[in-house]
Structure 1
Amino acid sequence: MLQIKRATLHDADSAFAIRREAIRSQCIGAYTAEQMALWTRGSASDGYDTLMEKRFYLGRVDGEPVATGMLDLGNNEVGALFVLPGYTGRGYGKAMLDHLENVARELAIEEVVLDSTLNAASFYRACGYVGDEQAIYRSPSGLVLACIPMTKQIYPLRPSPTKPGE
């Protein structure tokens, strides 16, 4: 079972390692070796650690950090959704995405957006995200990658109906 908690600055190195390993194993074929090398270079202290100040979450299995995800409230954007290669295919990415969407609902956010990597677009579509047009993502570090901007309507949580007389 995936245990999801808010990340702290102390989790930045683990989160960066999950990101690096996920990109290196899951983006083969979608991006060039050069793009992936640029994308995964450096360390958490090169700026990735500042993401821990946002609604950044770390998922653990038996105490081991295996998944990350973030909700950027400035843009209502889901991001940093990564799962360690040895833990893919077990529903941990979906569990993290569900968690982020629930956080968005609790904050009364009606729509979330994301820039999907080319290899992850089918995953997001299966989770209800819409978007087909390819675009260019430009990272703050200068990296340029093809992506697919996607959106999903997040409807507010509805209170459960009560029985008459309660």
Structure 2
Amino acid sequence: MVTELRPESGGPTKASGPDDQWRFSILIADDDRGTRETLGEMLRARGFRTVLAADGGEAVELVQVDLVHLVLFDMHMPRLTGLEAFAVIRQTLDRLLPAVLMTADANNDLIRQAFAAQVYSVIPKPVNGNVVLHTLERALAKVYGPRPDKPGETKPNAPQPPPPTEE
């Protein structure tokens, strides 16, 4: 079982387990169960901790009781839309929480509303997993800094040690 430690700073949670890696928590709020669960599985496979909500009201409730680093909202949901839920969350939290909005209705008016509400990005539906992952990683890096590397992992552009010389 993985135990989550909750840092006071709001940074990534430290997972105590065999790989001992840092994990960001992402709340996925979408009224379509298949979309919600597919995105959750994809993000968990990439090392994120996920929290799932079936509508905007549930998302607001979960953010109040669980440490979340980013919210991924569907725009059109029961109880509260993604933008309405984000507005409520911003009013109740005492820290910056990045949000990404998904919508099948990505028109200019909605995009203007989203950016006025300080949503990080709007992703058109149907979503592409790579686009979602890249967008979430950029949003997290902007707010929290680059994701810590796993021990023994090197960055693709990091200088490599010279090869051993034969004598």
More strand by share: 1
TM-score in terms of structure 1 length: 0.30
Q: Which has the higher contact order (CA 8 A, sep 6+)?
A: 1
Larger radius of gyration: 2
TM-score in terms of structure 2 length: 0.30
